[in-house]
Amino acid sequence: MTPGELVRRAGIDRGEAETLLGHVLKVDRAWLFAHADEWVCEAAALKFQHLVEARRKGEPLAYLLRYRDFWTLRLSVNQHVMIPRRETEHLVEWAIECIDAGATRILDLGTGSGAIALACKAERPATEVWGIDSSKDALACAEANGRSLGLDVRWVVSNWFGALPTAEWDLLISNPPYIAANDVHLTQGDLRAEPSSALVGGATGLEAIERITEEAPPFLTMGGWLLFEHGYDQSLTVQAALRARGFANIATRSDWSGLARLTGGQWWN
């Protein structure tokens, strides 16, 4: 069959079908349009059809492609890590503001694919960046991304602060699990295939954020920042948790859609 026929018969979103076919043929979508009537070899067509079938069954496009573009980086992803979202780039922007204001030692809590840590290191190479995760498989993905991108981040297997050496950071940053265990969204879209450990924060969804907030101060320098990504309806609760723990200069920022999705505070006690 031709590229045009394969895409038309795929039975999935046309843009996704073109992306998958381009991935198989190692061409861009403009090439597919210009060569829509050329013949595709049987092996390539069969590989494409297998990918299409997996997509129909709910496998995320990023897992099928084996990568996701985030910030200025192309990151390898697999079923052991949450797929980086565009909204998390706002967290990187805030982190860079903190670095430019003097933060030199950065810790990414629950790093997953390494997206936040690597984006910070890529933008500000002089900073010392660590990334931790409780999943060895996730950390292996992050380490592989660091090697392929030539970015020197220190990776540590740790359940939040549990296995960290005694140290202080100028900036703690985290996109932790923050979805409630009974949230209906877990049965929809890509979330169905992503690791629950990277998504579910507990019964309320706030357990990971509350734990990090409680345990963070000994690991922060005076004036150090703690920044979170969280759910669209959690900002007031996260603000209250930070305030109760003694953080100051608490602020919330919105994502591309205008939803309150980022909250942070500064440690001065």
Residues of the chain with pLDDT under 70: none
In a domain, 143, yes or no: yes
Q: Which of 112, 145, 149, 152 is nearest to 130 (CA)?
A: 152
| Predicted local distance difference test score (pLDDT) of residue 97 | 98
Distance between CA 61 and CA 49 in Å, rounded?
Answer: 14
Q: Sign of the CA dihedral 75, 145, 123, 160? A: positive
What the block records as the tokens of 143 is: 């380490």
| Predicted local distance difference test score (pLDDT) of residue 17 | 96
Distance between CA 226 and CA 268 in Å, rounded?
Answer: 12
| Predicted local distance difference test score (pLDDT) of residue 54 | 96
Residues 6+ apart with CB under 8 A from 217: 245, 246, 267, 269
What are 6-54's pLDDT values in tens digits?
999 999 999 999 999 999 999 998 999 888 889 999 999 999 999 999 9
Residue 173 sits in the same domain as residue 194: yes
Distance between CA 175 and CA 26 in Å, rounded?
Answer: 33
Residue 175 sits in the same domain as residue 220: yes
Q: Which of 136, 54, 68, 131 is nearest to 95 (CA)?
A: 131
Residue 43 sits in the same domain as residue 83: no
Q: Give the total number of structural domains in the chain.
A: 2
Residue 41 sits in the same domain as residue 159: no
| Predicted local distance difference test score (pLDDT) of residue 1 | 87
| Predicted local distance difference test score (pLDDT) of residue 43 | 95
Residue 200 sits in the same domain as residue 173: yes
Residue 136 sits in the same domain as residue 172: yes
Structural domain boundaries enclosing 14? 3-57
| Predicted local distance difference test score (pLDDT) of residue 246 | 97
Residue 41 sits in the same domain as residue 141: no
- Name residue 109's beta-bridge partners: 132, 174
Residue 251 sits in the same domain as residue 233: yes
| Predicted local distance difference test score (pLDDT) of residue 76 | 97
| Predicted local distance difference test score (pLDDT) of residue 36 | 85
Distance between CA 214 and CA 131 in Å, rounded?
Answer: 19
| Predicted local distance difference test score (pLDDT) of residue 204 | 94
In a domain, 62, yes or no: no
Residue 131 sits in the same domain as residue 98: yes
pTM: 0.93
Residue 91 sits in the same domain as residue 172: yes
Residue with token string 């049965």: 187
| Predicted local distance difference test score (pLDDT) of residue 236 | 97
In a domain, 122, yes or no: yes
Give the CATH number, domain containing residue 242: 3.40.50.150
| Predicted local distance difference test score (pLDDT) of residue 163 | 92
